[in-house]
């Protein structure tokens, strides 16, 4: 199992722990050099000084004090330097773990951007332990996210975490888990106790800074989500505007090709009747007789046009009646089963009505259905419209009635509703639109 022991984030105490061979070697070198140093100072200052003063017989008290002072003042700085050199020599050229750790702490205390810290940490670990790789993972809003790795890895998946040689070290902060450090020692070897202490030490130090990194990561995630949502809203609004413009163009075309032409023909024929009246009263009467039905057709055209714009029955009698009327003029057999919806907001009613209209049009055009069922159900806090047919269903890729579906979805979106399109029990298409009703003082 190697060293794959779960460490705690607490730092090991420095004392009471066996030393490694390298550490023993370092200590030996340091002791030797320092002994040599003390000896040399004594020889130079006390014996050399006595020589200079011309009194070599007995140790001079002042010189002894001077030598001791020199040694006392320069001992610790020198020892540190010697230890550093010795440790490097005995550590295969790499900086010794403690130094690495200190370097990391300095880096953190310095002004590195927080998002670089995990990568810097992974690098510190790799440098300090000669590992193959190291990664820093953070638990961001319930999901483990790789915040940094060394050497840099392209994708976000991480490297074989189930590898038994990989060490996992939990990192916590303020009493809660924060993430973990993953480390794969070179060739799967065990870490030396010093390296082990480096790793656990780093994990212990990491809590505070990684806490900040996690906050920032979570914030960035939230921001990205909100931006995506805003973009979605923007494009939905764009689609709504486009749909509106299309609708206006369609209306203009309908008015131009329908009502306007009918009225024009009426005008022309009335003028014709007028000019015929004197010369050929019978023909004039014939022309006039034909104009009453023509006028009725014109009226019907205008009525159906205005229903397409906004059905008056919806405002006057409510959604169930409007659905019944839409069903009656849909050109396909429709069975309507509508609960009274009570005080349903006007925008919700219109959204459901036009969704139903669109679904009925799709069914009439594409489904080949014999019958369509429309069901309007009022629940405690929502209204649900279901339109299902018994046709051959549709292959979305094939029919690509894209704009119709997007229209319905956008209408639902605009009133906070949800649109689902799926298969009906009869094998046809089921369109389900559900709008939650706002409750509270403003509803």
Partner 1 sequence: MALRVVLADDNYLVRQGVAALLAEAEDVDVVGVVGEPRALVELVAAEHPDAVLTDIRMPPTFTIEGIEAARRIRAAHPDIGVVVLSQYVEGTYPFELLQDGVAGLGYLLKDRVSDVDELVRALHEVARGGSALDPRVVEGLVARRATEARSPLAVLTEREHEVLQAMATGRNNTAIAKSLFMSERAVEKHIGSVFQKLGVAEEQDVNRRVVAVLTFLEATASA
| CA 90 to chain centroid | 48
Residue pair 317/345 in contact (Cβ under 8 Å)? The answer is no
Between 255 and 406, name the residue whose CB sits nearer to partner 1: 255
> What is the nearest approach in angstroms of partner 1 to the Cβ of residue 407?
23
Q: What are the structure tokens assigned to 66, written together?
A: 């001077």
Choose the stretch contacting partner 1; rule: CB under 8 A; options: 59-67, 114-122, 270-278, 435-443.
270-278
Distance CA 169, CA 179 (A): 9
- Report if residue 296 touches partner 1, rule: CB under 8 A: no
- Report if residue 302 touches partner 1, rule: CB under 8 A: no
C-alpha closest to that of 135 among 210, 84, 73: 210
- Report if residue 384 touches partner 1, rule: CB under 8 A: no
Choose the stretch contacting partner 1; rule: CB under 8 A; options: 161-169, 258-266, 300-308, 310-318.
258-266
> What is the nearest approach in angstroms of partner 1 to the Cβ of residue 279?
8
One residue of 265, 288, 295, 305 binding partner 1 per CB under 8 A: 265
> What is the nearest approach in angstroms of partner 1 to the Cβ of residue 260?
7
Residue pair 420/432 in contact (Cβ under 8 Å)? The answer is yes
Between 20 and 291, name the residue whose CB sits nearer to partner 1: 291
x-marked contacts with partner 1 along 235-254 as a string, rule CB under 8 A: ------------------x-
Distance CA 319, CA 351 (A): 10
One residue of 116, 231, 257, 379 binding partner 1 per CB under 8 A: 257
- Report if residue 300 touches partner 1, rule: CB under 8 A: no
C-alpha closest to that of 258 among 319, 308, 196, 222: 308
- Report if residue 313 touches partner 1, rule: CB under 8 A: no
Distance CA 103, CA 160 (A): 29
One residue of 43, 53, 152, 264 binding partner 1 per CB under 8 A: 264
Neighbours of 281 (CB within 10 A): 11
- Tally: H helices and E strands in the chain: 13, 9
- Report if residue 262 touches partner 1, rule: CB under 8 A: yes
- Report if residue 299 touches partner 1, rule: CB under 8 A: no
Between 236 and 291, name the residue whose CB sits nearer to partner 1: 291
Q: What are the structure tokens assigned to 211, written together?
A: 């806490």
> What is the nearest approach in angstroms of partner 1 to the Cβ of residue 366?
24
Inter-CA distances, 44 with 63, 73, 386, Å:
10, 16, 103
Q: How many residues bind partner 1 (CB under 8 A)?
A: 18
Between 269 and 401, name the residue whose CB sits nearer to partner 1: 269
Q: In what order do the strands lie in the sheet with 418-423?
A: 334-338, 372-378, 382-389, 429-436, 418-423
> What is the nearest approach in angstroms of partner 1 to the Cβ of residue 298?
10
By residue count, the chain amounts to 443
- Report if residue 301 touches partner 1, rule: CB under 8 A: no
- Report if residue 102 touches partner 1, rule: CB under 8 A: no
- Measure the N-to-C terminal CA separation of the chain; round to a whole number of Å: 64
Residue 386 CB contacts under 8 Å (≥ 6 apart), including other chains: 373, 374, 375, 376, 377, 430, 431, 432, 433
The 8-class DSSP code of residue 345 comes to -
Between 267 and 381, name the residue whose CB sits nearer to partner 1: 267
- For binding to partner 1 (CB under 8 A), which residues are involved? 253, 256-257, 260-262, 264-265, 267-272, 275-276, 287, 294
């Amino acid at each position: 199992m190697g060293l794959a022991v779960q460490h705690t984030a607490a730092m090991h105490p420095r004392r009471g722990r066996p030393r490694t061979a390298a550490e023993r070697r370092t200590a030996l070198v340091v002791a030797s050099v320092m002994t040599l140093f003390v000896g040399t100072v004594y020889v130079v200052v006390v014996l050399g000084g006595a020589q200079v003063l011309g009194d070599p017989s007995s140790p001079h008290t002042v010189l002894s004090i001077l030598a001791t002072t020199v040694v006392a003042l320069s001992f610790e700085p020198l020892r540190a330097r010697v230890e550093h050199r010795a440790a490097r020599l005995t550590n295969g050229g790499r900086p010794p773990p403690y130094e690495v750790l200190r370097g990391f702490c300095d880096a953190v205390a310095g002004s590195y951007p927080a998002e670089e810290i995990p990568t810097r940490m992974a690098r510190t670990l790799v440098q300090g332990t000669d590992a193959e790789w190291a990664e820093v993972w953070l638990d961001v809003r319930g999901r483990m996210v790789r915040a940094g790795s060394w050497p840099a890895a392209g994708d976000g998946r991480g490297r074989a975490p189930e590898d038994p040689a990989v060490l996992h070290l939990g990192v916590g902060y303020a009493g809660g888990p924060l993430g973990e450090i993953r480390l794969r020692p070179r060739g799967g070897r065990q870490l030396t106790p010093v390296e082990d202490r480096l790793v656990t030490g780093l994990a212990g130090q990491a809590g505070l800074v990684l806490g900040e990194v996690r906050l920032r990561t979570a914030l960035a995630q939230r921001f990205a989500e909100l931006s995506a949502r805003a973009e979605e809203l923007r494009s939905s609004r764009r689609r709504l505007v486009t749909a509106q413009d299309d609708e206006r163009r369609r209306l203009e075309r309908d008015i131009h090709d329908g009502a306007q032409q009918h009225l024009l023909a009426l005008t022309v024929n009335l003028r014709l009747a007028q000019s015929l009246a004197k010369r050929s009263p019978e023909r004039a009467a014939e022309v006039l007789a034909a104009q009453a039905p023509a006028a009725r057709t014109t009226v019907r055209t205008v009525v159906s046009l205005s229903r397409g714009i906004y059905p008056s029955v919806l405002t006057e009698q409510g959604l169930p009646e409007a659905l019944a009327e839409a069903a009656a003029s849909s050109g396909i057999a429709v069975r309507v089963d509508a609960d009274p919806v009570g005080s349903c907001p006007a925008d919700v009613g219109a959204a459901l009505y036009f969704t139903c209209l669109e679904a009925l049009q799709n069914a009439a055009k594409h489904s080949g259905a014999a019958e369509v069922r429309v069901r309007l159900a009022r629940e405690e806090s929502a209204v649900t419209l279901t339109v299902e047919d018994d046709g051959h269903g549709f292959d979305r890729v094939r029919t690509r009635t894209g704009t119709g579906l997007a229209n319905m979805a956008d209408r639902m979106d605009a009133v906070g509703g949800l649109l689902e399109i799926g298969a009906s029990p009869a094998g046809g298409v089921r369109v389900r639109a559900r709008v939650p009703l706002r409750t509270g003082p403003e509803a």
